[in-house]
Copies of this chain bind each other. A is one copy, B any other.
Amino acid sequence: MTAKSQTNWSGDPVELLRAGEGFRLADVDPDATPGYTGGKKHGQVDLRAGADELGELQERLFAQSRIVADTPAVLLVLQAMDSAGKGGIVRHVVGSVDPQGVSLVAFKKPTPEELAHDFLWRIEKHVPDAGFIGVFDRSHYEDVLIGRVRSLASPEEIERRYGAIVDFEKRLTDRGVRIVKVMLHISPDEQKSRLMERLERPDKHWKYNPGDVDERQLWPAYMDAYQAVFERTSTPNAPWYVVPANAKWYARIAVQALLLDALEDIDPQWPAADFDVEAEKRRLAAT
């Protein structure tokens, strides 16, 4: 992978961060920077270099989709506890590519209309079009995370949902959507300090919600729910990646590396013209 060969990666984050067979969330150190030998300053430099690469790959993917039927799409799913840095990923990683090729959806608490349908109904509508990088800021996984922790659905219904998610994602990947699922993993102490900063800075008050403390008090239950998510829905076609996120700079280059890997795997190509180039040059010259 070009990004890594030119940079401070000593290992492949795709391998190191994947939640595979036997994965245990409790074993992940949120302070770690797996596979990366540099520090914050190196990370910032590498993020900029990776942004250029991501931009070029995204443009190729978008270009290909304008001409070639069945061009793939990429879907980045972001899940995390409050303040773990989803917004920073959107701003600093996704925000570096041309907005014309990005479709970003922030899923909030479901509306009454959404609740009157199956939990995947509102998700399906936002599956990215061919050639796009879709980003889900929260997702259908809320329905097996807060849904389980807060008992918003019965245990049988939660069980059903794991299977429904696997089937749904298989249908997407079969149709050419490359799914990259990321959990940003912070420690309870780190969350405390980030929430406290939001309380101490008037320009951050709007990001704070008293409900954040209520959720925080259910931390162990949330970790159990995430563990179950990884065991039940981390499939070879749509694996989960757990990204240590106490160091924001690391989380950003790691998610960027996962996106770069997905795009390099697609290997999009500038599409051939679907018109006669020389004839068009003559037509244009005559105007």
Nearest residue in B to A217 (C-beta to C-beta)? B287
Q: Which of A89-97, A138-146, A241-249 is near enough to bind chain B?
A: A89-97
How many A residues touch the partner, as a band?
35 or more
A202 to chain B, nearest CB (A): 6
A58 to chain B, nearest CB (A): 11
Q: Which of A3-11, A23-31, A250-258, A272-280 is near enough to bind chain B?
A: A272-280
A116 within 8 A of B: no
A208 to B281, CA, bound (A): 11
Q: Which of A38-46, A100-108, A158-166, A174-182 is near enough to bind chain B?
A: A100-108
Verify A94–B104 contact, CB threshold 8 A.
no
Verify A287–B205 contact, CB threshold 8 A.
no
Verify B270–A208 contact, CB threshold 8 A.
no
The listed residue (B99, B205, B275) touching A210 by CB distance below 8 A is B275
Residues of B with C-beta under 8 A to A195:
284
The listed residue (B87, B95, B208, B287) touching A213 by CB distance below 8 A is B287
A216 within 8 A of B: yes
* 13 new A-B contacts at CB < 8 Å, known A63-B206, A199-B284: A63-B207, A66-B206, A90-B98, A91-B98, A94-B99, A99-B104, A196-B285, A199-B277, A199-B280, A205-B271, A206-B271, A206-B273, A216-B287
A: residues with CB less than 8 A from B are 63-64, 66-67, 87, 90-91, 94-95, 98-100, 102, 104, 106, 137, 192, 195-196, 199-200, 202-203, 205-208, 210, 213, 216-217, 270-273, 275, 277, 280-281, 283-285, 287
Q: What 8 A-B pairs come out closest when comparing CB atoms? A: A205-B273, A63-B206, A203-B270, A91-B98, A66-B206, A210-B275, A95-B99, A199-B281
